[in-house]
Chains A and B, each alone.
Chain A
Amino acid sequence: MATPAQLGLQNATSPIMEELIAFHDHALMIIFLISSLVLYIISLMLTTKLTHTSTMNAQEIEMIWTILPAIILIMIALPSLRILYMTDEFNKPYLTLKAIGHQWYWSYEYSDYEDLAFDSYITPTYFLEPGEFRLLEVDNRTTLPMEADIRMLITSQDVLHSWAVPSLGVKTDAIPGRLNQAMLASMRPGLFYGQCSEICGSNHSFMPIVLEFIYFQDFEVWASYLYIV
Chain B
Amino acid sequence: MASEVLAKPQMRGLLARRLRIHMVGAFLVSLGVAALYKFGVAEPRKKAYADFYKNYSPEKDFEEMKKAGIFRSIK
Contact = CB atoms under 8 A, between A and B. Distances in A.
11 contacts: A12-B49, A30-B34, A36-B30, A36-B33, A40-B29, A52-B16, A147-B58, A188-B61, A189-B58, A214-B74, A228-B73
Interface of B: 14-16, 18-19, 22, 25-27, 29-31, 33-34, 37-38, 41-42, 45-46, 49, 53, 56, 58-59, 61-62, 65, 70-75
Interface residues of A, number: 40
A7 interface: no
A21 interface: yes
Nearest to A24: B42
Contacts of B34: 29-30, 32-33, 36
From B41, B56, B58, residue with most partner A Cβ within 10 Å: B58
Contacts of B59: 215
Interface in A174-192: 187-191
A33 B37 CA distance: 9
Interface string A29-60: 11011101100110010001011100000000
